[in-house]
Every structure is written in C-alpha cells, then in structure tokens.
A = this chain, B = another copy of it.
Amino acid sequence: MVTQKRRRPTIHDVAAASGVSRGTVSRFLNGGHNVSPGAAKAIQKAVKDTGYVVNQHARSLVTSRSHSVAFILAEPQERLFEDPNFNVLLHGATRALAEHDIMLLLTIAGNIDDRKRVSRYITSGHVDGALLVSSHSGDPLIEELRGQDIPVVTIGRPLGHEGDVPYVVSDDREGARQMTRYLMDRGGRKIATITGALDTSGGVDRLQGFREVAGHGAPVAEGDYTLAGGRAAMERLLAAHPDLDAVFVASDLMASGALIALRESGRRVPEDVAVGGFDDSPVAMSTAPKLTTMRQPWTQLSRELVRLLLAVIDGAEPSAIMLPTQLVVRDSA
C-alpha cells in the first residue's frame, strides 16, 4: 500500500477551517493581539483539527529570526567529552536560552572541513547568532562570522579581536595571582606552573598572573588543557626541577594529569608537592586528593554569555564582561 505523502497543512488551511483570514490566524499565532474571543476559539480548534504546525522557513524568511543559536565548539570532538568544562558551559547556556525560548544547537568544528560546513551553515541564516567556545588566536572562523555580520560572542578573550567581538571571561590573571600567592603562603619555596594552550587568553593570562607573583624566573611547562598534556608537562617539570614543592596548573583537567605524574614519581600531594588547579570543574572532586582550585563562576558565565549574545542580536554594541574567580581550598594544597 502506498501511503500518499500528505501535504502539511498551512495557515491557509487553518484560515479556511476557521472561517477567518490568514492574517487573523497569523495574529492569533503570534500572541493573539487583535483577535476576538470567538475567532480565537475557532482558530484554536482549526489548528487542532488540521494538525497545523508553523513552517519555520516561511516565518523566518519574513522575520529574519530563527530563534535558535549555535554553540560552536572549535576544538577536536574528543575535547568536548574529555573536558567537563564544556559540559558545564553547554548546560548553562542551554538553560539560560531556554528561558527565552531559544534553541541551542551544538556544532562541532574540529577540523578544517567541519569549520567550513559550520561556517556556511551559520552564515546562511540558520541561526540568529553563535556562542564561540574555545577560540584560539588566528582562528579564521571568527573572521568569517564577523564578515557576515553574524552576532557572535566568545567565552574567553578573543585574542586579536578584543575590540570588535564581545566576550565574557573570568578574571584569569587575578585568579592566577591569588592561587600562586596561596601556594607560596602555605610554604611553597620552589614553585612552577603548567600553562594552558598559549594561543588562548586563559593560557596567557594565567601565566602572566603566575609570573607577577612567582617572578619571571620560576619554571614554566607548556600544557594544552588536556589530561595527557598536564601529565607530560609535570614529568618534564620534575625531570628539570626535582626539588619542586608547589605547582600551579592552569586547569583542573591538566592538574588531574599532573597528579598522576606526581604519584608515579613517588611524591605525596600535598606533603611533598602542593598542587593548585584552575576551573573548579567536576574533575576537581574526583581526583585523589581532591583539588584545591580557583572556581570559575560557570553559571554566571553562561548567563552573561547568553545575555550578551541576545543584546548583540538586538543591535547592541560589542562589550566585554569579566567575572571574578574564587579560591576553593580542598586537599591538594
């Protein structure tokens, strides 16, 4: 039996079924202003009877709004799953957007091809704006989006675009200073740091904060925000400076890797080496020992991210928001 693919009902069918004009149906659908109770009732019934659902393309064509927003993860896909920070951010943004009845679409732009597809998808009007997560400096995505006047806001300073693209960040530099000071105050005499990726603002700012307190001679190992990277960096640090007694690691995930390296080298944490992380991400609670870290205000960050994006969509000028971090003392330092 061939089931005839039935045509979807349109606003025209609803108008016919309810005995009013298409304009009136449309008005009813869009808030019900200027439609009499009688008409409203008839339309409501007709919608139900016909099974009408708006055609979003038609609507968007005239309103130029899609009521959806992209969450662009400009990272290899593995990172999305490895780093709980993204999860937290995604969750926060979804919640904040839901309040405005806006749909959040996760889009992964891991490699060149993905980036192109994502860029095309977004510039051709599918979404009203984009949240760009984890933008490395020199990322062409941001240029492309800007070039097409797509509202975009980034989490973290968009290096090289601080003036023209709005963003929200934690006060990375001050956070790093505070943690470094804490580690030194509790007795650290020989302190080092493991940095984040140095083409991101979190990477450079946390390193700068560290140096401002620990001095420019303090040992530095470059990390990349992954667990494996943190572990490798810790091994290098230990090889070069066996007498280390404190280390500030620029992310909790890397710190969990550093903890492994430390354990394997036979050192106790915090007795032999104190470890301070950054993020207060979910991993901080699952390491042994639990991580002392700088809390990023995730909920607030995602709220502000969304608020800013909506403002920009509504035509506001780009602006930036910086939020303070907070020391959370647990067991690793």
Contacts and interface: CB of A to CB of B under 8 A. Distances in A.
Contacts of A105: 105-107
Contacts of A56: 57, 124-126
Contacts of A108: 94, 106
Given A124-B54, A124-B56, A87 B77 contact: yes
Interface in A52-75: 53-58, 60-61, 66, 68
A306 B61 CA distance: 29
A275 interface: no
A98 interface: yes
A163 to B, nearest CB: 13
Contacts of A68: 121, 126
A5 interface: yes
B117 A53 contact: no
A103 B126 CA distance: 11
A193 B147 CA distance: 57
A48 interface: no
A53 B148 contact: yes
A189 to B, nearest CB: 36
Contact of A125 (B57, B80, B84, B117): B57
B57 A61 contact: yes
A55 B51 contact: no
Contact of A114 (B55, B98, B106): B98
A113 interface: yes
A260 to B, nearest CB: 12
Contact of A101 (B51, B78, B106, B117): B117
A5 B316 CA distance: 11
A279 to B, nearest CB: 15
A117 B91 contact: no
Which residue, A61, A66, A126, has most C-beta atoms of chain B within 10 A?
A126
A91 B80 CA distance: 11
Interface in A23-73: 51, 53-58, 60-61, 66, 68
A55 to B, nearest CB: 5
A57 B56 CA distance: 8
A123 interface: yes
A216 interface: no
Contacts of A61: 55, 57-58, 61
A6 interface: yes
Contacts of A55: 61, 124-125
11 contacts: A5-B315, A53-B124, A53-B148, A55-B124, A57-B61, A77-B87, A77-B90, A78-B87, A94-B114, A98-B114, A103-B117
Given A5-B315, A53-B124, A55-B61, 17 more contacts: A6-B149, A51-B147, A54-B124, A56-B124, A57-B60, A57-B125, A58-B61, A77-B91, A77-B94, A81-B84, A94-B114, A103-B107, A103-B117, A103-B118, A105-B106, A106-B107, A126-B126
